[in-house]
Amino acid sequence: GACRGRLRTLSLFSSSGSSNWSKVVSDAEKIVGYPTSFMSLRCLLSDELSNVAMHLRKLVGTQHPLLNTARGFVYDSKNNLQMRGLVVLLLSKAAGPSHAASDLLAQDMVSGIYPSQRNLAEITELIHTAFLVHRGIVNLKEWTDSDGPLKDMQFGNKMAVLSGDFLLANACTGLAQLNNTKVVELISSAIGDLVQGVYYENSHNTEENGLTDGIDVAAWEEQTFLSHGALLAKSCQAAMELAKHDKESQRLAYKYGKHLSLGHKLNSDLQPFMKSRVGEPLSFSLSAAPVVFHRQIMGRETWHHQLQQAKTLRNQLDYSKLLAAVKSEKGVSTAMDLCCYHGNKALEAIQAFPSSEARSALENIASAVTKF
């Protein structure tokens, strides 16, 4: 129902989005046999990382974003951090044992999932987490004394580089141990996509002033796929390859991962435009999908004018003014339509898998992405 009749008024959306999402995730975790929030713990409890954690404590009290990322490992109300591993496990279970896999023993399966597929889910999480940590590196060129002591930030950056590299190295070791050339190729290419996607984000988004042109839907999807979709899509495909499922199953798993990721990204980009949380300072990224589409619809001149109008005397952005401007045009509805489209595409992709608890959980996750 979220996709039909959704243009009535934006304020009608229920605020149960995140609680609904948490419920869908916790139900799904029961199906795969353990809470995936423990997925990266094996790595996080290792000696090397406890050394890193000791150093991280020095950052407490500073404003380095790495601290928030670290808190997210331990507690993340939206479960966004662990979604990728969970989807890989659910798809592995939904596809079931393969008929072609004579050397894969069905008795090795735990809760209907091969050990190699569980390892893959962990590797996917590690790679995602490593990039999250690396994204938290602060640009020191723009750091001023009023922002806090520079040496704290330099130290935080060092820790972000080291801990991100550490997680990535662990993922690569695990990947080699899977002993499957095609899977290594798939996941390595996903790491390449992530690097390209982050590079793209950094070079194309002059975030501070929002003066780059908006891009059309196709270009946005292409860029966002690299930074937010490729890892899940290729991991889903790799899970099928590990159980020796045929090309068609691999294609459908890839398709589910791709469309789910894009829907999920659109949903989180849309959140600030859906409901204003009372008491929370309003802010949103100028590279959020609704803003990007709005910029493209309005054209450069009008957008620059709207940006100027939304500046305060101290040359800071008044986000509520900007929000009203973006809401008044079709940027938000374009993003909502697109979110529903990707959610439906993900649902479509898994209909070929046999009906099961795991498939229902995947359907629920895809539906939750289109609820705002």
pLDDT tens string 103-161: 666 667 777 888 899 889 888 988 888 887 777 776 767 666 666 677 777 777 777 77
pLDDT category, 19, cuts 50, 70, 90? low
Lowest mean pLDDT segment, chosen from 19-23, 26-30, 34-38, 243-247: 34-38
- Cα dist from 272 to 10, 18, 181, 289, 326, whole Å: 11, 13, 43, 11, 11
361, 90 contact by CB (below 8 A): yes
Q: Is the pLDDT of residue 264 over 50?
A: yes
- Single out the residue of 126, 143, 145, 152 nearest to residue 61, CA to CA: 152
Q: Worst-scoring range by mean pLDDT, 94-103, 245-254, 341-350? A: 94-103
pLDDT at 6 over 50: no
The answer on pLDDT for 311 being more than 70 is: yes
Query: Half-sphere exposure (CA, 13 Å, Cβ side) for 115?
Result: 8
Residue-wise pLDDT tens digits, 187-220: 999 999 999 988 877 776 554 455 566 677 888 8
Nearest to 196 by CA among 146, 231, 158: 231
On whether the CB atoms of residues 37 and 79 are closer than 8 A, the answer is yes
Average pLDDT over all residues of the chain: 78
Helix, strand, or coil (residue 179): coil
pLDDT of residue 322: 86
CA separation (Å) from 203 to 59, 102, 196, 198, 228? 28, 48, 10, 9, 17
Q: Which residue has the higher pLDDT, 138 or 1?
A: 138
The pLDDT assigned to 145 comes to 64
Give the tokens for residue 37: 């929030």
* Mean predicted confidence (pLDDT) in 330-335: 91
For residue range 35-53, what is the model confidence (pLDDT) as tens digits? 554 454 454 445 555 555 5
Tokens of 363: 């359907």
pLDDT class for 61, splitting at 50, 70, 90? low
Q: How far apart are CA 108 and CA 113, in angstroms?
A: 8
First to last CA, the chain: 11
Rounded to whole angstroms, how far apart are CA atoms 346 and 308?
Answer: 40
Q: What is the C-alpha to C-alpha distance for residues 203 and 286, in angstroms, rounded to an integer?
A: 14
- Between 89 and 153, the more confident residue is 89
Q: What percent of the chain has pLDDT over 70?
A: 71
pTM over 0.85? The answer is no
Q: Which of 94-103, 143-152, 267-276 has the highest mean pLDDT?
A: 267-276
pLDDT recorded at residue 56: 56
Percent of the chain scored above 90 by pLDDT? 31
